Amino acid sequence: MSNKWENNEEIQFFREYLRIPSVHPDVDYDPCLKFIKSQADNLNLPMKIYYPAHPKKPIAIITWTGIKPELPSIILNSHMDVVPVFEENWTHPPFSADIDSEGRIFARGSQDMKCVGMQYLAAIRALKKEGHKFKRTIHIVFVPDEEIGGKLGMCKFVHKDEFKALNAGFSFDEGVAGPDEIYPVFYAERSIWHVFFKISGTTGHGSLLHKNTAGEKLNYIMQKMFALRDHEVKRLENNPELTIGDVTTINLTQLKGGVQSNVVPPLFVACFDVRIAIDVDHIKFENQLKQWCEEAGGGIELEYEQKEVRVEPTKIDSSNKFWVAFKKTVDELGLKTRPQVFPGGTDSRYIREVGIPAIGFSPMNNTPILLHDHDEFLKADTYLNGIEIYKKLIPAVANLE
């Protein structure tokens, strides 16, 4: 469809990147690397590729060296991978990057988060053309596998010598769209725990009333976990200041057990997806789980598929000069922002874990939240406006002494 955005160079670069189906499972990152290398060449900047944990999990970094390279650098982080699609539920092919008459660009990754990676590059392109130079070195980082936890990507990379050599002082990473005029800004993340209760009990014939069965114990654990869930639901409902990221979320996600309808099973396994709020003491929380297991009758083993440590939030006060520069810039631009705790997980948690302040920010407002949804789209004007915002934000942090 011919429209006013068709001939915009940055829109064309964005759509080219969106057309690369870097989709799980079994992502082939080579087309992404080829495209990012073409962008590095266009910018006349060097690019390096690292493989921190796996030969098919690359990290690409484009570097713009600063006037004072000894100063801690700025990281502009984004991930190359996208989540699976159910194509039959899309009105446009999910890797077509079709643009309609309203300027909506339909593609998986249009919001999460190929937009932000390309907005960084577009802003850098404009700043370079205008002849700018900055005190701090800027690293534009493209990582794999964020959508499956980043375990072979940023999680491993932050502990490697190659990452330490970047001398990172501050990082930008993804946020989410704001459905109204407010731009969400994320300074922390909850800790993800995937908890398995392996519940053993008396087995036997289903016609009898055995003592200490796995079903009875499961019922006790379920009551306790759902009571805690209800408590957090009420907290959220009764306090308009809270967002979902401020409370602990608990969801039963898997339930396994039983062999036959008339046999009392010796084992039930219940899995809960728990996202622990940043003000909760992890040791006390785990001790509470252990206590419930004993109260239920014992014979319950706790296992964790994922059990993240508490990571210190990025400070959003005068003690963090990068935050001060960010806030001053968005205020000058007249943007309404709301700092909050990210409800899901991003690679920022690994960056914060090694002591580097990180802000999650996707410059999209008045935009429906469609990450991981069917018909994911971003309006061309919103995308282009985001470039203008980064043209102000990047210099603000890269010129700090």
SS (H, E, C) 62-105: EEECCCCCCCCEEEEEEECCECCCCHHHCCCCCCCCEECCCCEE
pLDDT score for 246: 97
102 burial type by CB count under 10 A (0-12 exposed, 13-18 middle, 19+ buried): exposed
pLDDT score for 157: 98
pLDDT score for 2: 52
Q: How many Cβ atoms are within 10 Å of 91's Cβ, its own excluded?
A: 10
Active-site choice (10, 145, 146, 232): 146
Interval 148-204: pLDDT, tens = 999 999 999 999 999 999 999 999 999 999 999 999 999 999 999 999 999 999 999
Q: Are 192 and 306 in contact (CB under 8 A)?
A: yes
Catalogue all structural domains in the chain, each as residue range(s) with its CATH number: 9-175+346-398 (3.40.630.10), 191-307 (3.30.70.360)
Angle 308-310-316 from CA coordinates, rounded to 5°: 130
Q: What mean pLDDT comes out for the span 264-277?
A: 98
CA distance 190 to 311: 8
How far apart, in Å, do the first and last CA atoms of the chain sit? 47
What six digits make up the tokens of 12?
């064309």
Our separate counts of H helices and E strands in the chain read 10, 17
Q: 156: closest CA among 58, 240, 274? A: 58
Query: Sheet containing 168-173: which strands, arranged edge to edge?
Result: 47-50, 59-64, 138-143, 73-79, 168-173, 358-360, 183-189, 337-342
What six digits make up the tokens of 242?
């809270």
CA distance 380 to 377: 9
Residue 30 designated active-site: no
Interval 319-346: pLDDT, tens = 999 999 999 999 999 999 999 999 989 9
Active-site choice (10, 81, 189, 376): 81
Rg (CA), the chain: 24
CA distance 400 to 393: 11
Q: What mean pLDDT comes out for the span 301-315?
A: 97
Interval 41-75: pLDDT, tens = 999 999 999 999 999 999 999 999 999 999 999 99
Q: How many Cβ atoms are within 10 Å of 150's Cβ, its own excluded?
A: 23
Residue 98 designated active-site: no
pLDDT score for 1: 46
pTM for this one?
0.94
